[in-house]
A and B are shown apart, each in its own frame.
Chain A
Amino acid sequence: MPAPALDAGAPADAGSARSIRPPFDLEKTSLGVVLVALAAVSVWSLGHLEMGALFGERARDNIVGFMGRAMPIEFPPVGEVASGVLVTLAIVIAGTALSSALSAPIAFWAARNTTPHPVVRNLARGVGVLSRSIPEIVFVIVLISVMHLGPLPAVVGFGLHSIGMISKLYADAIEQIDEGPVLAIRAAGGSRFQQNVTGVLPQVAPSWIATSLHRLDINLRGSVLLGWVNVKGIGYDMHHYQEMSHWGMVIGIAIIFFVMCVLMEIVSSTIRGAILKTEPTGRGLGARLARRAAARRAARAGEGAEPAAASSTTTATADRPAVPGRTLPPMRGSRLTTTLGGLAAVAIVVWSWAYPGINWADMIDVWTKLPDRLSNMFPLSLGSKSWEDVGGMIGETVLIALAATLIGLVLSLVIGSLAARNVAPNAAVRAVCRGLLVGIRGIPELIMAIIFIVMIGMGPAPGALALGIAGVGLLGKLIADSMEEVAPGPEVAARAAGATRLQVYATATLPQAAPAIFGHLFYLIDHNVRSSTVLGIVGGGGVGFWLFNAVRLSQYDVVLTITVLVVAVVLTVELVSMWVRRVIS
């Protein structure tokens, strides 16, 4: 693990008048110690997991044998594929839409500048953290036990888990807005609700849409897992054929799923790019807003620091010629695109709720069943396990997560850096690396885990490998983006001093991107802790295996206990991550 800018060396040279060693800084030194310790534990667990087996003869034989059984690759009939794909898409879209809707108020409560009260703010943030740290599959499993098996528990499960990420990013967007318009509305006597809808929403809309689309990608990738808890969709078909060891078909469906994920990512990133650049959604409301806030804007203009979004809205309004008698701008240009896009989005969301055959009665019935289920969960219980067993399993989960993070970090630093425009030696290398990252993201962790299990048998090693490689898709992209976002000036300065490409990278690019990369790194650890739980479902080891046994045996008190433990670990990671980021920046 690199520790840029953190050289907390020994105290000053006693002999010399002035020191060329940095003075002792307790916080930075502890940070260095923590990071080195983390790195050491990660390396140790990587060794402990005996990945060597992967390169052994048996693994080779196994994979060759597996290939033999998997050939020829088969595809299910078109009708079956189509219905699986559509159901999966509908569940994922409906879940993300539900989550976005629930996240909006939570975000307003959680954002510093819009929260009604600090207590509300902390509660809202707590809800987000909790939702984030409970794996979606745990939500789905518990919901299935109180609803009819079908799309609804899946939609709600994904919806509840996604609140964590969506509400956090929504709230971040709110905290970054220009406060001027909101103040203007408040000054004009607008209510808090009016301030939020008219002052805040138009400013955050592009970023919110981008966040939801991003989550849609993530949820699609996670949806395979639904098949393993018998929810219909493409994952169900895959699980079905896997149970029958019909490997040709499993691979075929995995390929279809891969294509689906890649297409979804292309569509969503195209839309995101278009929205974030042109910000069409800000216009309609912004126009009205701008008139109200005009006076304030004029005052602020002198101070200069206006975000581009706000000022572009102002200009657009000022330049538009007034048509007598018209109170709406003409329906063309960006307004037309926005309207059509909005209608299409609404249509797709409506379809996603209508298509998969949701059992609407469950929406009501669940409230009668839920108290019972919840009471089953208490008191917390370890089932037949001792605290020692539990400690061991949690430990194994954490080790898997750390080993996976180490694999992910090392590969991501290489591939992610080379995928960055300002680091890649040429466009071809960059394109290949970007393509590689998209490709890796298209393969669900679960499928990778299954492949590694085929090679080296069940246990923690295949889980760690699968998570590690899957993590590259995520972390590699984030690293590439962070590197492209660094200020180019210091790179030019290093180049002008005669530095080599590698020197420019180490001295100017990496240190500037480091704070962001540390943030992403802890996000990955956090993600890996949760996912390593989930991989228990296919025999990936750790606490997950125990979790799914408990589910099978309907020991809901144990399910809750495990959930609480996982949440505790995730929260610990989150606290460490907050501290690291504070010390670094």
Chain B
Amino acid sequence: MADHGTAVIRTRELVKQFDTTTALNGVTVDITPGEVVVLLGLSGSGKSTLLRHFNGLEAATSGSVEVLGQDLSTLGGRGLRGLRRRVSMVFQQFELVGPLSVLENVCSGALGSLRGPRLGLLTYPTAVRRRALDNLERVGLGDRAFQRADTLSGGQQQRVAIARALMQDPEILLADEPVASLDPESATTVMALIREIARERELTVVCSLHQVELALEWGDRLLGLRAGELVLETSTQGLTKERVMAIYRSVATDEAQVRELRAELSAQDAAQQLVHADGTI
């Protein structure tokens, strides 16, 4: 387990209920500064919901969420915006404003630290535009600044979205299935970019993925969700795809086998525990 004192994100028994669905069921995690954590899980397992708790896009039904030392349940409008400014988010569908230029989209990442509404590139301060162009060049798209955002390919749009996220000078980067809509080649480019930037800027990254291979390749640590519960928590060191799959499969079928696998795995990788302390799956 991570050192509680330095955790940048910390949840305790987090439960999220949507009408009849329990999207998160008692999730307790700590995320330490500078690590790249991958959330793994099938579609519907609660990855997006968990990520959206980290910047207050969702509010917990019960349990607590603490981000950058602030308890989210105590934050209202202004306080929440102040926190969101320090936490960037990247989405599966990029979520650029299609009709606006690439550069204006990047600039919009700075809205949290600007006053008043902005419409049109020239309504942004020169300094913001300069920084936007720097960030755009960092993701390799400086030459696309004045193109409409919706004329770019998916991989390019996601890189623009990353540049937009960098405008916040974030401490944490949340990425919700950032490569799920991309071809394998663009996916690699985007994941590599996220990793590099995380290292350069000493960012903490929480990234959800549903492909085990990608998770093993790009993550420092895996958190596995299944039906809203945390069923896997391990370092990626020395972990193989087969083993992860086996754990997932057994979670669904055979309790005894799980325990066996878990024992095996923890023997090999004693530093990390797979499952909750209470032993439930």
By a beta-carbon cutoff of 8 Å, the part of chain A in contact with chain B is: 2-7, 9, 18, 20-23, 487, 489-490, 492-500, 502-503, 505-508, 510-512, 514-515, 584-585
Q: Are A6 and B57 in contact (CB under 8 A)?
A: no
Point out the residues of chain B lying under 8 angstroms from A497, CB to CB. Answer: 84-85, 88-89, 108-112, 164-165, 167-168
Residue of A nearest to B132 (CB): A20
Q: Are A498 and B112 in contact (CB under 8 A)?
A: yes
Residue of A nearest to B96 (CB): A490
Q: Are B57 and A20 in contact (CB under 8 A)?
A: no
Q: Are B117 and A5 in contact (CB under 8 A)?
A: no
Point out the residues of chain B lying under 8 angstroms from A4, CB to CB. Answer: 99-100, 119-120
Point out the residues of chain B lying under 8 angstroms from A506, CB to CB. Answer: 117-119
Point out the residues of chain A lying under 8 angstroms from B57, CB to CB. Answer: 492, 495-496
User: Please, how many angstroms separate the alpha-carbon atoms of A7 and B96 in the complex?
Assistant: 18
Q: Are B84 and A507 in contact (CB under 8 A)?
A: no
Number of residue pairs across A and B with beta carbons under 8 Å?
125
Residue of A nearest to B84 (CB): A498
Binds A, one of B39-47, B122-130, B204-212, B229-237: B122-130
Our pick among B83, B95, B100, B108 for the contact of A5 (Cβ within 8 Å) is B100
Measured CB to CB, the closest approach of chain B to A503, in angstroms, equals 5
User: Please, how many angstroms separate the alpha-carbon atoms of A7 and B129 in the complex?
Assistant: 14
Q: Are B117 and A492 in contact (CB under 8 A)?
A: no
What would 10 A/B residue contacts be, using CB atoms closer than 8 Å?
A: A493-B91, A496-B55, A497-B84, A497-B89, A497-B108, A511-B97, A511-B100, A514-B99, A515-B99, A585-B99
Point out the residues of chain A lying under 8 angstroms from B85, CB to CB. Answer: 497-498
Residue of A nearest to B120 (CB): A7
User: Please, how many angstroms separate the alpha-carbon atoms of A112 and B216 in the complex?
Assistant: 52
Known contacts A495-B57, A497-B85, A498-B82; decide if A503 and B97 are in contact (CB<8 Å): no
Our pick among A6, A22, A499, A505 for the contact of B81 (Cβ within 8 Å) is A499
User: Please, how many angstroms separate the alpha-carbon atoms of A137 and B108 in the complex?
Assistant: 50
Q: Are B99 and A20 in contact (CB under 8 A)?
A: no
Our pick among B91, B118, B120, B167 for the contact of A503 (Cβ within 8 Å) is B118
B238 at the A interface (CB under 8 A): no
Point out the residues of chain A lying under 8 angstroms from B87, CB to CB. Answer: 496
Point out the residues of chain A lying under 8 angstroms from B98, CB to CB. Answer: 487, 490, 512
Point out the residues of chain A lying under 8 angstroms from B112, CB to CB. Answer: 497-499
Point out the residues of chain B lying under 8 angstroms from A487, CB to CB. Answer: 95, 98
Q: Are B120 and A6 in contact (CB under 8 A)?
A: yes
Interface string of B127-167 (1 = CB under 8 A from A): 00110110000000010011010000000000001001101
Our pick among B81, B116, B122 for the contact of A7 (Cβ within 8 Å) is B122
User: Please, how many angstroms separate the alpha-carbon atoms of A325 and B72 in the complex?
Assistant: 65
B121 at the A interface (CB under 8 A): yes
Q: Are B97 and A500 in contact (CB under 8 A)?
A: no
B64 at the A interface (CB under 8 A): no
User: Please, how many angstroms separate the alpha-carbon atoms of A495 and B96 in the complex?
Assistant: 13
Q: Are B118 and A507 in contact (CB under 8 A)?
A: yes
Measured CB to CB, the closest approach of chain B to A313, in angstroms, equals 27
Point out the residues of chain B lying under 8 angstroms from A7, CB to CB. Answer: 120-122
User: Please, how many angstroms separate the alpha-carbon atoms of A4 and B122 in the complex?
Assistant: 11
Kindly name the residue among A9, A502, A506 whose own CB sees the greatest number of chain B CB atoms within 10 A: A506
Q: Are A507 and B109 in contact (CB under 8 A)?
A: no
Measured CB to CB, the closest approach of chain A to B158, in angstroms, equals 12
User: Please, how many angstroms separate the alpha-carbon atoms of A514 and B118 in the complex?
Assistant: 15
Known contacts A497-B168, A500-B81; decide if A489 and B117 are in contact (CB<8 Å): no
Q: Are B111 and A503 in contact (CB under 8 A)?
A: yes
Residue of B nearest to A499 (CB): B111
Point out the residues of chain B lying under 8 angstroms from A493, CB to CB. Answer: 89, 91, 95-96, 161, 164
Point out the residues of chain A lying under 8 angstroms from B164, CB to CB. Answer: 493, 497
Measured CB to CB, the closest approach of chain B to A32, in angstroms, equals 10
User: Please, how many angstroms separate the alpha-carbon atoms of A514 and B120 in the complex?
Assistant: 12
Q: Are A20 and B101 in contact (CB under 8 A)?
A: no
User: Please, how many angstroms separate the alpha-carbon atoms of A503 and B109 in the complex?
Assistant: 11
Residue of A nearest to B167 (CB): A497
Kindly name the residue among A495, A515, A585 whose own CB sees the greatest number of chain B CB atoms within 10 A: A495
Interface string of B161-187 (1 = CB under 8 A from A): 100110110000000000000000000
Q: What 20 new A-B contacts, CB under 8 Å, besides A4-B99, A497-B112, A507-B100?
A: A3-B120, A4-B120, A5-B100, A7-B122, A9-B122, A20-B133, A21-B121, A22-B103, A489-B93, A489-B95, A492-B57, A497-B108, A497-B167, A498-B168, A500-B117, A502-B117, A506-B117, A507-B118, A507-B119, A508-B108
Q: Are A5 and B101 in contact (CB under 8 A)?
A: yes
Q: Are A498 and B95 in contact (CB under 8 A)?
A: no
Measured CB to CB, the closest approach of chain A to B81, in angstroms, equals 4
Known contacts A5-B120, A498-B81; decide if A512 and B97 are in contact (CB<8 Å): yes
User: Please, how many angstroms separate the alpha-carbon atoms of A507 and B98 in the complex?
Assistant: 11
User: Please, how many angstroms separate the alpha-carbon atoms of A260 and B45 in the complex?
Assistant: 51
Known contacts A20-B103, A20-B129, A511-B100; decide if A496 and B120 are in contact (CB<8 Å): no
Q: Are A22 and B117 in contact (CB under 8 A)?
A: no
Q: Are A494 and B117 in contact (CB under 8 A)?
A: no
User: Please, how many angstroms separate the alpha-carbon atoms of A194 and B120 in the complex?
Assistant: 51
Residue of A nearest to B88 (CB): A497
User: Please, how many angstroms separate the alpha-carbon atoms of A21 and B120 in the complex?
Assistant: 11
Measured CB to CB, the closest approach of chain B to A9, in angstroms, equals 6
Measured CB to CB, the closest approach of chain B to A185, in angstroms, equals 35
Q: Are A496 and B97 in contact (CB under 8 A)?
A: no
Measured CB to CB, the closest approach of chain A to B105, in angstroms, equals 9
Q: Are A507 and B111 in contact (CB under 8 A)?
A: yes
Point out the residues of chain A lying under 8 angstroms from B93, CB to CB. Answer: 489
Measured CB to CB, the closest approach of chain B to A460, in angstroms, equals 33
Point out the residues of chain B lying under 8 angstroms from A492, CB to CB. Answer: 57, 91, 95
Measured CB to CB, the closest approach of chain A to B31, in angstroms, equals 18
Point out the residues of chain A lying under 8 angstroms from B118, CB to CB. Answer: 503, 506-507
Measured CB to CB, the closest approach of chain A to B216, in angstroms, equals 28
Known contacts A5-B99, A503-B116; decide if A496 and B84 are in contact (CB<8 Å): yes
Query: Which B residues from 216 to 258 make CB contacts under 8 A with A?
Result: none
Q: Are B117 and A505 in contact (CB under 8 A)?
A: yes
Measured CB to CB, the closest approach of chain B to A435, in angstroms, equals 27
Point out the residues of chain B lying under 8 angstroms from A6, CB to CB. Answer: 120
User: Please, how many angstroms separate the alpha-carbon atoms of A259 and B142 in the complex?
Assistant: 59
User: Please, how many angstroms separate the alpha-carbon atoms of A207 and B251 in the complex?
Assistant: 49
Q: Are A512 and B99 in contact (CB under 8 A)?
A: yes
Point out the residues of chain A lying under 8 angstroms from B104, CB to CB. Answer: 5
Measured CB to CB, the closest approach of chain B to A144, in angstroms, equals 48
Measured CB to CB, the closest approach of chain A to B137, in angstroms, equals 8
User: Please, how many angstroms separate the alpha-carbon atoms of A405 and B167 in the complex?
Assistant: 39
Measured CB to CB, the closest approach of chain B to A296, in angstroms, equals 28
Measured CB to CB, the closest approach of chain A to B118, in angstroms, equals 6
Q: Are B95 and A22 in contact (CB under 8 A)?
A: no
Measured CB to CB, the closest approach of chain A to B109, in angstroms, equals 5
Measured CB to CB, the closest approach of chain A to B159, in angstroms, equals 15
User: Please, how many angstroms separate the alpha-carbon atoms of A515 and B148 in the complex?
Assistant: 14
